[in-house]
Structure 1
């Protein structure tokens, strides 16, 4: 892919917004980036298949934890518990497959075992798949094909990629990638092209690379905004080519959320509307089906602040952030979009074991200047300062496949906007 990020400057030397209008997204919060925690949000409360059909999580409480599968494609969601003879450890990971089975990773010393769980009458069936010996291992996000499951095993100077479900016979070693790899985002709808955030074996900045799993893990540079910046890919949408990235390229001490387009020559942009004081903004879902129209895609964002977590909705073309109160019991960081722009947020409470809250994505989104407290907007947004566009109304409450890739890097200077 090709996407050059070019920095432009105003006459006084200040970096301009990516559309050439200095400050058109409104005033930058005084503490943008500085007060945010250094790491991205933790794992979502529910892992959902790429097609949105099934979800899986560790349910229960205290030391009594068990896998639970959610069915999300029917008229009403429902959950099926998958307990075994003994409770699961808190560090176990679960991942749903498109056939309704749930993969579970368990750790026993330095061995990571894998099994497929499925309901069978009144009990839970279990199919053991084998084990991988590694000091550290983590499951990657669900593959777009819904059949295979992969894991990363970082070592001293390289990271192993393992196919842990969907292979011919047990876990299979796919490739070793030089350096320490983390993250993981799928770039196509077949589960062939995987993006990983890699730090070289001798240190240095983090850069995103594309890994071709069909070619034995062939690695190609994917994201480099500046030579010395840490550039991570958080989310990718195969339909539109929209990429959500986090980078410190805009300046020292800043770790900002930005967006680019796969295969585009336009710069990576870092909208001011996505910079909230004392809060961390992390994307978790992109509206599907927006073929070749990345600017119109609705993006769901997890917002983490001192008062808790809530939801944001944003479109690149809208350049404003609409903040929503999360439903009580939201499985934080989990959710999907329908092609029609309906955001679906799974939640579970003491009285409702399995439910989904739905809200229509607004056509006009509210700016980052809106007031919020503990995840709930308390006032209609106020117009932004001179140079910005006025906000367009109060906050709305929450109510109850592959593209060819050009393997060239996103390079150049990041544009601020």
Structure 2
């Protein structure tokens, strides 16, 4: 069992006045300059297709392991609210010769006519392992590790200074903040042990951090399945060992756990992204014999499909945003993917119905893996450069034409078509027993 204890502090313990009207506004650099230099797609060639040899001009960060949902974020990585209105990151001022890098939180406002960043420094710099999450009201939650405690505060701009509202602390060695809740006001943290994992409500409660669920097994990940912030998917490995399977946790039923993914009995089946509107799920599984990126539909009995186009030879792909608002049309949703290769990171766009991965250069200074879609299919990619400290590049989702069937071809003919789950080992359970999860019951009772 994970050993954690809650410590002192309530939501009323503030070190500054309550948040007041913000005085910071857009800086001199905004999206207008970006659109002048890069057109509709922004700078750095956004909107221009790239090949493997052109990826070096994509900007972004150095190649590395793709960021998984719920994993600790590195400094300078931007975390967005569920609606994309705000972002937050740890950033650092330019380092003088012989000086040390000083980290401080920064909040981005992205839903206005021009994006702008507001620095939120306090009296001393932050440690680079601190984690920040934006809220829908413009405040930023920060998690700091102090000895064997995790301490939480809300930061907000107040005139020229930064206000801080202390929320309390949890005694445990490690905690990971999950992606922002769709309700915009709640933030959850996960502490994973060998035998069980604890889910904490660290912001949005009445009395500081609250333990809301204990899930048997070692859990990771964290994907929201609805827009109310009630159903949370976690990737769980049983306490006694075994394959990783995604499960659904009902936060309004004391953390009731329901199986969500089980493609094959011995496969590791992880949920990467979910779209509540269409039910589209992006899944990573080794059921086909090795790790592959696949897709399925929530509540469907159809098998998970593993498109061949989502395994490019020159990079690893990780989805980070799904086009919202496509009710009952999961195959038409545009999916944004981060592509990591030897030359850096760039952007991929794919639709299930199109069966083709479109690849584009990323804007210079892109916070790789950060972005959000509008309902009409425009991808927003936040970036920061010395000349534009807070910018957003826009990328229209390309259209797809259904490829003609090849005469006498197979489902895995190697011409952009995708193999079905029949390519997986034949001994399978229900390929996607998503109907076992209480999503439909929730919809009928809300």
Report the Cα offset of residue 366 of structure 1: 11
Residue of structure 2 in register with 1:187 after alignment: 225
Report the Cα offset of residue 311 of structure 1: 0.4
Match of 2:400 among 348, 364, 383: 364
Residue of structure 1 in register with 2:49 after alignment: none
More strand by share: 1
SS in 2 for 1:223: coil
Q: Is the 8 A contact 1:321 1:366 kept in 2?
A: no
Whether 2:88 is the aligned partner of 1:56: answer yes
Residue of structure 2 in register with 1:207 after alignment: 245
For the residues of structure 1 that align with 2:177 and 2:158, how far apart are their CA atoms? 25
Residue of structure 1 in register with 2:299 after alignment: 263
Residue of structure 2 in register with 1:400 after alignment: none
Match of 1:160 among 190, 194, 198: 198
Cα RMSD over matched residues? 2.2
Residue pairs, 1:284-303, within 5 angstroms:
284-303=320-339
Residue of structure 2 in register with 1:172 after alignment: 210
Residue pairs, 1:2-151, within 5 angstroms:
43=73, 45-61=77-93, 63-151=101-189
Whether 2:368 is the aligned partner of 1:332: answer yes
Report the Cα offset of residue 408 of structure 1: 3.9
Q: Is the 8 A contact 1:237 1:243 kept in 2?
A: yes
Residue pairs, 1:308-323, within 5 angstroms:
308-323=344-359
Residue of structure 2 in register with 1:371 after alignment: none
Q: Mark the runs of 5 or more structure 2 residues left unpaired by the alignment.
A: 1-62, 94-99, 404-411, 418-433, 439-446
Q: 1:285-337 CA distances to partner (integer Å, 9 max, x unpaired)? A: 00010011000000000001111100000000000000000000001110000
Whether 2:383 is the aligned partner of 1:347: answer yes
Residue of structure 2 in register with 1:388 after alignment: 415
For the residues of structure 2 that align with 1:183 and 1:365, how far apart are their CA atoms? 34
More helix by share: 2
Q: 1:93-140 CA distances to partner (integer Å, 9 max, x unpaired)? A: 000000000000000111000000000001000000000111220000
For the residues of structure 2 that align with 1:363 and 1:307, how far apart are their CA atoms? 27
Q: TM-score, normalised by structure 1?
A: 0.79
Q: 1:39-98 CA distances to partner (integer Å, 9 max, x unpaired)? A: 755748211101111010001156311100000101110100000001111100000000
Alpha carbons of structure 1 residues 155 and 126: separation in structure 2 relative to 1, 3 Å: same
SS in 1 for 2:260: strand
Q: Is the 8 A contact 1:320 1:366 kept in 2?
A: no
Moved over 6 A (4+): 36-39
Q: Is the 8 A contact 1:63 1:87 kept in 2?
A: no
Whether 2:276 is the aligned partner of 1:238: answer yes
Q: Mark the runs of 5 or more structure 1 residues left unpaired by the alignment.
A: 1-35, 368-384, 391-404, 410-417
Q: TM-score, normalised by structure 2?
A: 0.74
Alpha carbons of structure 1 residues 229 and 37: separation in structure 2 relative to 1, 3 Å: farther
Report the Cα offset of residue 364 of structure 1: 2.2
Alpha carbons of structure 1 residues 386 and 186: separation in structure 2 relative to 1, 3 Å: closer
Report the Cα offset of residue 356 of structure 1: 0.2
Alpha carbons of structure 1 residues 307 and 129: separation in structure 2 relative to 1, 3 Å: same
Alpha carbons of structure 1 residues 387 and 51: separation in structure 2 relative to 1, 3 Å: closer
For the residues of structure 1 that align with 2:435 and 2:352, how far apart are their CA atoms? 23
